Amino acid sequence: MILLTIIMTFSFMSWISSRSQSKLPGPIVTDSLAVQKRVLSYLNQQKWNELFPHRYGIQSANSKNGLSDFYSFDAFLNAVKFFPEFLDVKDKVLQKRELAAFLANMAYETGGGWPDSPDGYFKWGLHFVEEQGCTKGCPQYTDTSKKDWMPVVDKSYHGRGPLQLSWNYNYGQFSQFFYGNKDSLLLHPEIVAENSLVSFASALWFWMHAQKPKPSCHAIMAGSWKPNGYDSVRNILPGFGAVVNIINGGIECGTGKPDGTYSRVGYYQYFCNYFKVSTGTDSSCMEQKPFNSIN
């Protein structure tokens, strides 16, 4: 434990130094080491390599601008320090489920596998940094009705990072949280695909941040969210299915069809098996209406 504390303290001080040099934003949270300890109770470098052996940049074939191991374990561990409530629940089962759910969605959003992939389909998470087909821009991810987060001309707000942060209003809100101003990422959304710490932080921000009428993904997996009347008429129940509904309910939910092996739910089952925990109830959203549906 003493050695672990020394290593974590050195890592934290190194992060502070690099944060200062690169002028990264935001206050240093005082209980950041607590969330890091929670993560380290389930993950380490070896397990990260086991789970994501084909992650972006670890092989020269998919590295970008000379960046190696873009989705490194160290980058993830540094990013969680901005989110001290991540995995902050006493029940170890709920901790494991939240971690499994978070990793599952990262892997699904960035997966590069196919049914006969070397090492298996689920080993190809974190393979991509940017939404495929959008590396030269995708103008459809702009919403000018969001007056507080207006898009910038000739900037693309397509999916980037572990949870594929998309749309100008999400870039603007995350920028406000991370940099203390909305313009840093509205003007330079490409940073999410260029800076590992920012990239992981974007995913954690989306996970931890509620956007009405949707709760946060964290609240669902931590067991603190209770459906209200609005949710109940849409058959949205606590469980991984509600997380899927938050992230991409308009496309993936309400189909009435069982989830396939290679679905988002399939990833969740895979990671739950890895952490030796049950999936819990209501993992599918096939009978749920999207959160923002009219009826």
Q: For 233-280, how does the pLDDT look when each residue is reduced to its tens digit (9 = 90+)?
A: 999 999 999 999 999 999 999 999 888 878 999 999 999 999 999 999
Please identify which residue in the block is written with the tokens 């944060």: 19
Q: Could you tell me the fold of the domain covering 23-124? A: Lysozyme (1.10.530)
Q: Does pTM surpass 0.75?
A: yes
Handedness of CA 247, 248, 250, 254 (dihedral sign): negative
What type of residue is 4?
L
Reported for 165-172, long-range contacts at CB under 8 A and 24+ positions apart, including other chains, are 165/192, 165/202, 165/203, 165/206, 166/131, 166/141, 167/141, 167/142, 167/143, 168/141, 168/142, 168/143, 169/143, 170/206, 172/146, 172/148
Active site residue 287: no
- CA dihedral defined by 142, 182, 33, 99, rounded to 10 degrees? -10
Distance CA 241, CA 245 (A): 6
Residue 186 backbone zone (phi > 0: left; psi -120 to 50: alpha; other: beta): alpha
Helix (H, G, I), strand (E, B) or coil at 241: helix
Distance CA 161, CA 56 (A): 11
Distance CA 245, CA 250 (A): 7
What pLDDT does residue 30 have? 54
Which residues does 200 contact at the CB level (< 8 Å), separation at least 6? 71, 75, 76, 78, 79, 80, 161, 162
What six digits make up the tokens of 258? 């069982």
Please identify which residue in the block is written with the tokens 């890091």: 36
What pLDDT does residue 136 have? 85
Active-site residue, from 98, 109, 130, 252: 109
What pLDDT does residue 56 have? 96
DSSP, res 43: -
Distance CA 208, CA 200 (A): 12
DSSP, res 260: P
b/e per residue 214-230 (b: at least 16 CB within 10 A): bbbbbbbbbbebebeee
What pLDDT does residue 58 have? 87
pLDDT digits (tens), the chain, 295 positions: 544 444 444 444 444 433 333 344 454 455 789 999 999 999 999 999 999 999 999 875 555 555 689 999 999 999 999 999 999 999 999 999 999 999 999 999 999 999 999 999 999 999 999 999 997 889 999 999 999 999 999 999 999 999 999 999 999 999 999 999 999 999 999 999 999 999 999 999 999 999 989 999 999 999 999 999 999 999 999 999 999 999 999 999 999 988 887 899 999 999 999 999 999 999 999 999 999 876 5
What pLDDT does residue 13 have? 42
For the chain, the structural domain boundaries read 23-124
